[in-house]
Amino acid sequence: MYLAVVLLTMLVLPVGSMLAEHLHGPAPWLLLAGKWFVFWSVGVRLMLAGVRQFAQPSFTAEQIFGTKSPDVLPLIRELGIANVATGVVGLLSLWMPSFTLPVAISAGIFYGVAGVRHALEPHRSANETIAMVSDLFVFVVLAVYVGGTLPHFLP
């Protein structure tokens, strides 16, 4: 189930949404990537992850971080709230396009650091490897979007 949610929100749904919107009227691919990756990979994905981390922190503790210690559960719940907060703004970006660039910057930093942290883990679980690959992939997409659009907003 975890792999299916990750594949849908980090690749299939954003790319499908980009293609569907492009068919209805040509728009720059870079803007479509920013719009739909922020909505799906930040909004939906982090909202789902945050709710699960808050409601069931043991999944993240055991399946992602490889620990059964109850000491980490409060910290994972706080991570869940941070993910919900970021997810809300990512979801709202679909109706408030001015949110897209700031959310891409903050989520890009989050995904990049998380992906590198997973990569440095010497004994990754299968789920942690999935998290690493998806985090780094979305980091690259968001970084390309930010790098391509941010200069247009600078004086």
Residue 59: pLDDT above 90?
Answer: no
Evaluate whether 65 touches 72 at the Cβ level (below 8 Å).
Answer: yes
The pLDDT value given to residue 151: 87
Q: Is 44 helix (H, G, I), strand (E, B) or coil?
A: helix
Q: Where are the domains of the chain?
A: 2-150
What tokens were used for 119?
Answer: 């990569």
What does the pLDDT look like over 60-115, one tens digit per residue? 888 888 889 999 999 999 999 999 999 999 999 999 999 999 999 999 999 999 99
Give the pLDDT of residue 26.
Answer: 84
Q: Report in angstroms the alpha-carbon separations of 131 from 55, 116, 125.
A: 19, 10, 10
Predicted local confidence at residue 96, as pLDDT: 98
φ, ψ of residue 100 to 5 degrees: the values are -60, -50
How far is CA 121 from each of CA 60, 82, 118, 132, 135, rounded to the nearest angstrom?
A: 15, 23, 5, 10, 14
Binned at pLDDT 50, 70 and 90, residue 155 comes out as: confident
Residues in Cβ contact with 66 at an 8 Å cutoff, skipping those fewer than 6 apart: 123, 125, 128
Burial of residue 2 (number of CB atoms within 10 Å: 0-12, 13-18, 19+): middle
Question: For 113-145, how does the pLDDT look when each residue is reduced to its tens digit (9 = 90+)?
Answer: 999 999 998 888 898 899 999 999 999 999 999
